[in-house]
Chain A
Amino acid sequence: MNTDDLIRKLATDARPVRRQLPVGVLLVIWLATSIIPVAGCMFACGARPDFAEAIRQPALLCQLAALTAVAILSATAAIRLSIPGCERSTASRRAAAVLVVLWIAALIAATFGRHACEAGPGAPCSLDVALVTILPCAVLAWICRTALPLRPAVTGALIFAASASIGAASSLLVCPGNDPLHLLTWHAAPVLILIIAGLAAGKILLHKPPRQP
């Protein structure tokens, strides 16, 4: 088909469209839906037995703050990356990556700093991370896919980073384990695995090649 014919065809197909909601509104919608699985996890598993005491510990508070920041920054970056021309700088993405790296580095450092560390049993913790990730991941992927993710792999990684951070934060609220090796093995590792999986998933699920109407 030559270009003039294509233009005629596209113009004939032009219907009024509803504009994409602003980035801030989409982020709030996503955050609101992310609370549902977190609440569900706390309801199903119950808060950690030492919750009142643990929540005052700087180590836990820092992790929760970092994970919340990663979630918000990654989700914002994913949404912006899905709207052509919206992402003016890579600051959000880089900040999220730095926070994840710092979190893992802090856990590794704490592991070496202790005399005896035990990963201990932790499959349920990883399962919590994965299960809580599902809904935020699905909602954010839907938001991004209804726009136009021009970099599907990176967008996928950001979606999984945002959602897995919510999952990791949720698991910290229910898991009583404080051992850094346990946190590294059963809480942080699943987040890393999910981010890598997000690269591949994004490439497959978010790729929107140009298709004639």
Chain B
Amino acid sequence: MDAAARIVRAMNPPGCDTDEAELGRLMCCAQEGDQNAYALLLSRVAVIARDFARREMADPSGSEDVAQDVLITIHQARHTYDPARSFAAWMFAIIRHRLVDHMRKVRRIRSREVTDETVLDAAAAQENDDATDLLGDEIREALARLPESQRRVIELLKLESLGVAETARRLGLSESNVKVTAHRGYAQLRKLLGRNRP
């Protein structure tokens, strides 16, 4: 059994005996259009990807993002899997590259943005007060033009008056991710609303 296959076996959820051959079989069924097999395969892969990301990253809060990127990539590339080759090698090539991409993205963001939570909390509090003062229709129109991730965060924080923790739980994100997304969303709203004013 090669190293990748050993890792697959070690990363199985408790009580699950899925090994590499089984994952390969599920992938073959998925390539033929079997949606149940595909859903089962993706659940297993998500666990493996998340655990791998948690072990490799200094800040494991992004492991869910990495797992989702891996699943989407597997969906895009499922036609490239060849049953004659190792499924584990195929899967881990995707996991490793998406992890590296994620870590590069985080590094880029950190080099350009403030992530000190006290500063973000103060900015978000000020922005929340500012946002309340704006006209209802105009802000809803601008909200609709935001990217979906920013719009959902602002809707949950402002329209449904959820806290950061609850918003993070609902969206499956980390709290710092919610704050950064809200901060960007408010900045984009200010730009959009600033353009609409004479």
Contacts and interface: CB of A to CB of B under 8 A. Distances in A.
Interface of A: 1-3, 6-8, 10-20, 22, 82-86, 147-148, 150-151, 208-213
A2 B50 CA distance: 13
A23 to B, nearest CB: 9
Given A14-B35, A150-B94, A210-B98, A19 B79 contact: yes
Nearest to B33: A16
A17 B78 contact: yes
Q: Is the interface of A mostly helix, strand, loop or mixed?
A: loop
Nearest to A17: B79
Contacts of A86: 82, 85, 90
The winner among B70, B73, B101 for most chain A CB atoms within 10 A is: B73
B90 A210 contact: no
A3 B39 contact: no
B72 A3 contact: no
Contacts of A6: 68, 71-72
Interface string B138-172: 00000000000000000000000000000000011
B92 interface: yes
Given A7-B46, A14-B35, A16-B32, A84 B77 contact: yes
A74 to B, nearest CB: 20
Contacts of A84: 77, 80, 89-91, 93-94, 97
Contacts of A147: 77, 80
Contacts of A12: 35
A212 B31 CA distance: 18
Contacts of B73: 148, 210
A98 B31 CA distance: 39
A10 B38 contact: yes
